[in-house]
Structure 1
Amino acid sequence: MIEPTSPTATRPSEAGVPAAAVIPASRRPFAAAFRALVALAALTGIALDTIDSHDLGRLFSYFTIQSNILLAAAFAWSAHRAWAGRPALSPRITGGVLLYICITGLVFHFVLSNDSSGFSMSSQRTPLESAASQLLHTVTPLAAALDWLLLTAPGGFLLRHAWQWLAYPLFYFPFALLRGALLAPGTDGRYPYPFLDVDLHGYAGVLGNAVVFGLAFYVLALALVLLDRIRPRPALSRNRISPTVSGPLK
């Protein structure tokens, strides 16, 4: 005779059955697909630049390439977690990647492509270079901003994140100068950007430029934190939005 189930019967998790096998995880397929496409766009841009480049060392010294590599890795990882229903990445990670790709887009469009900025890098581009430039300087920054605004719940960025995110840009500055110092004078692309060119501005001038850009990047980071706190919650279905509170990284 089978005894009736009592209120204190063994729970699935206590019997060795994972809770996830009983309660399905909240998958976010729309967010996963979008983030996978953004990662693919970044990788495509990098691949096009690599095909058209005759100096890979110079190519991968650019902040543009490095920031898009970080974006591709973070968005691919985030896409996997959204598809599997795992907790979202830490806002410290996603906010840093967002800041770096925003720096890439803003500096390119307002400084490097602006003849009146004094730091223009206007030059003739091949079709591959033009396509790569659009993907890496325009498509990925806009897509990352849209992902933040439309597919991520607000309130995850903290004030302390703003200065923590600056670690990578601050590291990039001595990296660019050291690389230039190790190359012979007159080497094409010795310094990746005009505002970091010691031959043009001297070390004192480059340091001054770095301080100005560093302060601008910090203001941008603070703006992202502020906007993240005051922006409305995206009006999308719940299964499309990544929560800001992250769980253990699995």
Structure 2
Amino acid sequence: MTAAIVTLAAVIVLIIGFGVSGKHSISVTTLMSPGNVGQRGVLGCTFEPDIVLSSTVIRWAKAGVAGLVHEFRSGQDQLQEQAAAFQGRTAVFADQVIGGNASLELRDLQLSDAGTYRCSVSTARGSGAAVLHYRTGAFSIPKVHMENSSSGETLLCEAPRWFPQPAVHWTAHSSSGEYLPQAANTSYELNAENITLKVVSFLHNVTTNVTYTCVIENNIAKATGDIKVTES
């Protein structure tokens, strides 16, 4: 039996914003990938750069939140107006601002961080803004391995953290093509923080010389784990 090969994919959305009305405007673009709760996330934003860093102002705001999420001005963070919910959790990539990177790092992601954000940038050349609809959840890479049971050889697929509850299905690939094996037994266990779920799925009566794939997917992300069952 070979080692499992796993992949993780998440939806990425590109949004291009129009410049602020007036004679001088710059293009601002946001790039979003879903946030994984408890980990580090990046809310992507780029703009037409200006070689004069001191004239660049970056403001991040979130709809429904009083105060700013983050502000970068005069070459450094200006957090006097930062909302309490984001204190100690945000940063811009200061050394990349001069190249047009206004992206925001958001640490210790929470489900409540989901929402609509606005990236506003002002330089000596003009101003612009774009919005970003940020989604948060939990997703993790599954591990697949073989187990022996009274019902014959069984595959076990486990993934430690998912939210919302995902769907799980298996596929099989052999020399004759791809097919869906018999239904698996899948269960969900609530983790200690009472938010995320551990996913456990058993596939019984597997056969040799077949590659099986465990697919876990919700509206945030999709992850797969592969294993090839051989006679050895």
- TM-score in same-fold range (> 0.5): no
TM-score by length of 2: 0.26
Higher strand proportion, which one? 2
Higher helix proportion, which one? 1
TM-score by length of 1: 0.25
Higher relative contact order by CA 8 Å / sep ≥ 6: 1 or 2?
Answer: 1
